[in-house]
Structure 1
Amino acid sequence: MTMKCSHTGAKNKDIRVVIPGFTDDDKKGPFFLMAGPCVVESEEVVMGTAARMVEITSRLGIPYIFKASYRKANRSRADSFTGIGDINALNLLAKVRREFGVPVVTDIHNPDEAAMAAEYVDVLQIPAFLCRQTDLITAAAETGKWVNIKKGQFLAPESMAFAAEKVTECGNRNVMLTDRGTSFGYYDLIVDYRGIPIMQRTGFPVVMDITHSLQQPNQSSGVTGGHPEMIETVARAAIAVGVDGLFVETHPNPACALSDGANMLPLDRMENMLERLVALRKTVQSF
């Protein structure tokens, strides 16, 4: 069944938003990277992380998109940190764009958030739990921004073609698809690397969300656990399979992070890991 855009005439628009690292020629080069803290906590964390990541990725020639959620809506406990206020957080994301000249990605959770967030960022991200929400995807598509749809932990990679179609039916071909693991029992996730080439058949860039694939959700404490020591292992495997981009959450001090600290890579370990991944990418491309 073909999905139709909700706004009259919207599907006739050919919207293109240019982001460095997303052209056909760029696919021959290094992977692109979405990285940053889980959520906007403070100006110090956001700007400090962005400054360091821009320095590293510029030196290594990695197309970079700064990542931070302006608000966290999917929380296990009612008392979990959700943000510093929508407009305050979005203004900080806009400051990253302005001062460092890099694109920015953030999550949205309701259709009415799409137009608001699009004023501040370049990529609107659809969380995995919401990847089948047609009205949310359509609202994101109609902004003309890039739309990054995370594959639900419950969904087969083949099914993501239909999620992408919801965007393209609005005349927007700026689509990315992201794998973030598949539910394995109650407390764990696994990565099926067959999903990367399967989703690449859509013709859109495919991203591996490393840190969320290593989560251990549904802990009795109500705080998600994780295996950050396995981040480079999962990243190497994704590069070997030929993924287009990586998604890695990082923080100057994960132990003090206000969200998902158990999954994030310490910022001071990013450079060495990325150096090795760039070298691996070159090796893979030589075959």
Structure 2
Amino acid sequence: MTLKLNKIAKYESNNFFLLAGPCAIEDRDLALRIAEKITSICSKLEIPYVFKGSYRKANRTKADSFTGIGDEKALKILEEVSKTFGIPTVTDIHETKEAELAAAYVDVLQIPAFLCRQTELLEAAAKTGKAVNIKKGQFLSGASMGFAIEKIKSVNPEVQGMLTDRGNSFGYSDLVVDYRNLVDMKEFGAPIVMDCTHSLQKPNQSSGVTGGNPKMISTIAKAAIAVGADGLFIETHPDPANAKSDGANMLHLDNLEQLLVDLVRIREAIS
């Protein structure tokens, strides 16, 4: 399934598309540095690319966790990334009032997994006319996500919807990926994405800081492409250990290119 965005590159290679970047917008220079490197890699490999960065983090365990550098400041950085590299951008929204605000700066509005059943939030995102990426709740099956697509289509039949799997809750501090969810979600006619980093989180740690298992990112990504995912979501950072959000499950930026090379080969093999 093709992702239809005005700025996204169109290639004849039938590659998957990529949503990638830091978990949160930490500062301008870092965002531009990450975007430049990933844009260069994706151009070489002919992978359609969307830059990802949360302008504000609302789902944090501890009250003193980093939430952002300021809404307008972060959104303007996302806008600058888009204009500088000619690529679309995606960011999360958490409340209905955020939809119109974020839509003025980015191309894709992302609905966090915990909020995928929030009807008014989905409708507000669809009303902006921007593409909407809905993350599947950790508590839901892939087959149930058709209702989320129905909600945005009922408001705007032309809106580009996407469905992203990020694992299912398994016990109190782990997630498990069931690839049947990708197959089930394909039935709804929207591009299907695998979140290769959040699906490896280890939430609810007693320290109040979410853990992760980044060494398994390539395994999750390769299996997703083999199953037929249309896109991949990967959070990446040049220094994950010092990232201000979700560093424990991010891919080191230096390891992204070889992973994408391997994934392109898998995609070619199954095409």
The aligned counterpart of 2:113 is 128
1:271 equivalent in alignment to 2:270: no
Q: Distance in 2 between matches of 1:207 and 1:68?
A: 16
Q: Secondary structure at the match of 1:74?
A: coil
Q: Distance in 2 between matches of 1:18 and 1:99?
A: 15
TM-score relative to the length of structure 2: 0.96
The aligned counterpart of 1:280 is 266
Q: Distance in 1 between matches of 2:97 and 2:166?
A: 25
Matching residue within 145, 159, 184 for 1:198: 184
Shift of residue 21, structure 1, vs aligned partner: 5.8
Matching residue within 35, 50, 73 for 1:88: 73
Q: Could you report, residue by residue, the CA deviation over 1:217-271 in whole angstroms, capped at 9, with x for unpaired residues?
A: 0000000000000000000000000000000000010011000000000101100
Q: Distance in 1 between matches of 2:160 and 2:176?
A: 28
Answer whether contact 2:161 2:191 (CA < 8 A) is retained: yes
Answer whether contact 2:8 2:50 (CA < 8 A) is retained: no
TM-score relative to the length of structure 1: 0.91
Shift of residue 43, structure 1, vs aligned partner: 1.0
Q: Distance in 2 between matches of 1:88 and 1:181?
A: 32
Answer whether contact 1:124 1:140 (CA < 8 A) is retained: yes
Q: Could you report, residue by residue, the CA deviation over 1:175-210 in whole angstroms, capped at 9, with x for unpaired residues?
A: 000000000000000000001111010000000000
Spell out the pairing of 1:17-36 with structure 2 (5 A cutoff): 18-20=6-8, 29-36=14-21
The aligned counterpart of 1:48 is 33
Q: Residue type matched to 1:215 in 2?
A: Q
Q: Distance in 1 between matches of 2:113 and 2:63?
A: 20
The aligned counterpart of 1:38 is 23
Answer whether contact 1:21 1:32 (CA < 8 A) is retained: no
The aligned counterpart of 2:146 is 161
Answer whether contact 1:39 1:83 (CA < 8 A) is retained: yes
Shift of residue 20, structure 1, vs aligned partner: 2.6
Answer whether contact 1:180 1:208 (CA < 8 A) is retained: yes
* Count of matched residue pairs: 267
Structure 2: gaps of 5 or more residues: none
Q: Distance in 2 between matches of 1:44 and 1:269?
A: 20
1:209 equivalent in alignment to 2:195: yes
1:255 equivalent in alignment to 2:241: yes
Answer whether contact 1:214 1:231 (CA < 8 A) is retained: yes
Spell out the pairing of 1:223-242 with structure 2 (5 A cutoff): 223-242=209-228
Answer whether contact 2:174 2:201 (CA < 8 A) is retained: yes
1:113 equivalent in alignment to 2:98: yes
1:246 equivalent in alignment to 2:232: yes
Q: Distance in 2 between matches of 1:86 and 1:183?
A: 30
Q: What percentage of residue pairs aligned between the two structures are identical?
A: 60
1:150 equivalent in alignment to 2:135: yes
The aligned counterpart of 1:70 is 55
Matching residue within 153, 161, 186 for 2:172: 186
Question: What is the root-mean-square deviation of aligned Cα atoms in Å?
Answer: 1.3
Q: Residue type matched to 1:273 in 2?
A: L
Shift of residue 272, structure 1, vs aligned partner: 0.7
Shift of residue 158, structure 1, vs aligned partner: 1.0
Answer whether contact 2:7 2:86 (CA < 8 A) is retained: no
Q: Distance in 2 between matches of 1:273 and 1:178?
A: 20
The aligned counterpart of 1:11 is none
Highest Rg: 1 or 2? 1
